[in-house]
Amino acid sequence: MKTFQEFGLDSSVLRAITEMGFEESTPIQEKTIPLAMEGRDLIGQAQTGTGKTAAFGIPLVNKINIKEERISALIMCPTRELAIQVAEEIEKLGRFKGIRSLPIYGGQDIVKQIRALKKKPQIIIGTPGRLLDHINRKTIKLDDVQTVILDEADEMLDMGFMDDIQSILKLVPEERHTMLFSATMPANIQRLAQQFLRNPEHVSVIPKQVSAPTIEQAYIELHEKQKFEALSRLIDMEAPDLAIVFGRTKRRVDELSEALQKRGYAAEGLHGDLSQNQRDNVMRKFRDGSIDVLVATDVAARGLDVSGVTHVINFDLPQDPESYVHRIGRTGRAGKEGTAWTFVTPREIDHLHFIEKVTRHKINKKPLPSLAEAIEGKQKLTAERILDLLQKEEHSEFKGLAIQLLEQYDSVNLLAAAMKLLTGDKKDLVIELTPEDPIRARKKKFDVRSSGRRVGGNYGSGSGDRRQGGYGSGGSGSRYPRKDGNREYGSREGGGSSYSKNREYGSNYSGNRDRSRAPRKSEDTLVSK
């Protein structure tokens, strides 16, 4: 791999890269940085957690003229959390150069944003809904934008952001540098690329499989009713540092996070019906480790980079292979190991096979963890906690009492009783979750296709165009059942502006659906029951 010195970057940018602890470039960075520095439009695809943010961030900050007092670059992201995170990375990369960057997303006080915009940032990192809102208010002008980056481009398309992106890009000069990035590039991304990019270079570093090889993947076949018990056993057994548990709907996430709390786990939920404050709090607690289980809808599936996530558990099977790839990609990042477990009900097995086929990776079956294994795991953890405290020598105030007790009781029994108390077993607490419908795949046409030319390592699950706004608009062709207004396929963002209202997902907009994801065409492989 190349070192960053070899790219001919500005010394202030190199300094920032060094401070961030990056020694060598990752494969996607090695390929895209030189091309981006030449100003080539490109589509960049690489596995989750392999540094795509810096792959576009480094050439971008390198290029920005700090004397510029107008917005010269725009990065668009599908969710607020991702916009915040990407903005932080850009900030880090640009700090020695003195670059001004600003995240702009829904749910945050717009007046505050307008005030921050007066400081003349050169780079804006935003979610489409709120960006449009500012454009409409004329608080953001795009006439001088020279570079546009769409992070998680396929997701933005899939969420029905196409109109918003089109409206935004119409206001950006045609003479510009445009780049798209994602770990997954379904064939329909071609349409977006044709429209927005000029003679793009396809850069793909997807070796054989779409998911990072550092992720150990397994599934457990079980019935809906067994899921909660299985989850708590898994957590006890595996003792994750940090885990993300994905649920299908907001209701699921609420019920599940509450249930986990009742059982004594430090868990909280994240979905698009929470206020931005709540969302920020949950993310902060997860990042600093004050909670260790994040229960989330697909709002957390894309792009989020939290170090220390050792486990991803798909409590509910994801809707499509892309979602699977991104969800499990929250672990096993930057070369670290990770484990991804997926719960599959018997009726969903076909869908799981479809995911395996499209992602070109066999997912091994594992047995349901037994109660004995769970207990053993929990006991081990308790012992570790005790030994940890012993080493830190933070227990002196209990020594007097310990001596007294040991004079009267047997030491083994005493310690065992203390451990039982510490282990805090609340297994007798009965938890009942509202069941979710199974996801089912259509029997025929499991072929992995793409329309015409492949986009890099495209695995082409979505061969058809996805119409916009199909879901929730009353059409009968939706592949998702409509009866459950609680569904969320990833909270997207919206700014509460007039045009984004009926597609507002991220804020407190009361619509149950978080996004109007379009149905795939009939020849596609996924359908609802």
Ligand X SMILES: Nc1ncnc2c1ncn2[C@@H]1O[C@H](COP(=O)(O)OP(=O)(O)OP(=O)(O)O)[C@@H](O)[C@H]1O
Which helix (H) or strand (E) segment holds residue 124: the answer is: strand 123-126
The CA–CA distances, whole Å, from 463 to 48, 116, 187, 445, 447 equal 22, 42, 6, 12, 10
Q: Should residue 204 be labelled a site residue for ligand X when binding is judged by CB under 6 A?
A: no
Q: Should residue 50 be labelled a site residue for ligand X when binding is judged by CB under 6 A?
A: yes
Helices and strands in the chain: count of H runs, count of E runs? 17, 14
> Which residue, 48 or 232, is less far from ligand X as judged by CB?
48
Residue whose token pair is 């009965």: 430
Scanning 42-50, 272-280, 450-458, 460-468 for contacts with ligand X by CB under 6 A, the matching segment is: 42-50
Of 325, 223, 255, residue with least CA distance to 486: 255
Nearest approach in angstroms of CB 207 to ligand X is 14
When CB distances are held under 5 to 8 angstroms depending on the partner's kind, the choice from ligand X, Mg ion, none that residue 126 binds is none
Letter string b/e over residues 278-290, b meaning 16 or more CB atoms within 10 A of that residue's CB: bbbbbbeebbeee
Scanning 18-26, 270-278, 355-363, 391-399 for contacts with ligand X by CB under 6 A, the matching segment is: 18-26
Of 28, 36, 27, 26, residue with least CA distance to 75: 36
Scanning 45-53, 314-322, 373-381, 455-463 for contacts with ligand X by CB under 6 A, the matching segment is: 45-53
Helix or strand or coil: residue 228? helix
Q: Should residue 305 be labelled a site residue for ligand X when binding is judged by CB under 6 A?
A: yes
> Which residue, 49 or 129, is less far from ligand X as judged by CB?
49
Nearest approach in angstroms of CB 50 to Mg ion is 9
CB atoms within 10 A of CB 164: 25
Separation between Cα atoms, residue 172 and residue 168, nearest integer Å:
7
For residues 344 and 484, the answer to whether their CB atoms sit within 8 Å is no
Nearest approach in angstroms of CB 13 to ligand X is 13
Q: Should residue 303 be labelled a site residue for ligand X when binding is judged by CB under 6 A?
A: yes
When CB distances are held under 5 to 8 angstroms depending on the partner's kind, the choice from ligand X, Mg ion, none that residue 334 binds is ligand X
The sign of the CA dihedral 273, 277, 278, 279 is positive
Q: Should residue 321 be labelled a site residue for ligand X when binding is judged by CB under 6 A?
A: no
Q: Should residue 215 be labelled a site residue for ligand X when binding is judged by CB under 6 A?
A: no
Letter string b/e over residues 345-375, b meaning 16 or more CB atoms within 10 A of that residue's CB: beebbebbebbbbbbebebeeeebbeeebbb
**455-494 residues near ligand X, rule: CB under 6 A:** none
Q: Should residue 318 be labelled a site residue for ligand X when binding is judged by CB under 6 A?
A: no
Q: Should residue 49 be labelled a site residue for ligand X when binding is judged by CB under 6 A?
A: yes
Binder to ligand X among 9, 14, 26, 169 (CB under 6 A)? 26
Residues in the chain: 529
> Which residue, 87 or 132, is less far from ligand X as judged by CB?
87
Amino acid making up residue 176: R
When CB distances are held under 5 to 8 angstroms depending on the partner's kind, the choice from Mg ion, ligand X, none that residue 462 binds is none
Which parts of this chain interact with Mg ion (CB under 5 A)? 52, 303
Q: Should residue 214 be labelled a site residue for ligand X when binding is judged by CB under 6 A?
A: no
> Which residue, 53 or 525, is less far from ligand X as judged by CB?
53
Q: For 324-482, list the strands marked E by DSSP.
A: 338-344, 364-365
> Which residue, 303 or 519, is less far from ligand X as judged by CB?
303
> Which residue, 83 or 110, is less far from Mg ion as judged by CB?
83
> Which residue, 28 or 145, is less far from Mg ion as judged by CB?
28
Q: Which residues pair with 245 in a beta bridge?
A: 295, 313
Helix or strand or coil: residue 46? strand
Binder to ligand X among 54, 159, 169, 363 (CB under 6 A)? 54
Nearest approach in angstroms of CB 182 to Mg ion is 8
CA 133 to chain centre: 25
Nearest approach in angstroms of CB 106 to Mg ion is 20
> Which residue, 153 or 183, is less far from ligand X as judged by CB?
183
Separation between Cα atoms, residue 231 and residue 431, nearest integer Å:
12
Helix or strand or coil: residue 411? helix
**334-353 residues near ligand X, rule: CB under 6 A:** 334
Which residues have C-beta within 8 Å of that of residue 403, sequence separation ≥ 6?
none
Of 527, 503, 400, 528, residue with least CA distance to 160: 503
> Which residue, 53 or 478, is less far from ligand X as judged by CB?
53
Separation between Cα atoms, residue 278 and residue 270, nearest integer Å:
8
When CB distances are held under 5 to 8 angstroms depending on the partner's kind, the choice from Mg ion, ligand X, none that residue 50 binds is ligand X
Nearest approach in angstroms of CB 417 to Mg ion is 49
Count of residues that interact with ligand X, criterion CB under 6 A:
18
**Which single residue brings its beta carbon nearest to ligand X?**
51
> Which residue, 25 or 516, is less far from ligand X as judged by CB?
25
Separation between Cα atoms, residue 36 and residue 41, nearest integer Å:
7
> Which residue, 46 or 140, is less far from ligand X as judged by CB?
46
**For binding to ligand X (CB under 6 A), which residues are involved?**
22, 25-26, 29, 46, 48-54, 183, 303, 305, 329, 333-334
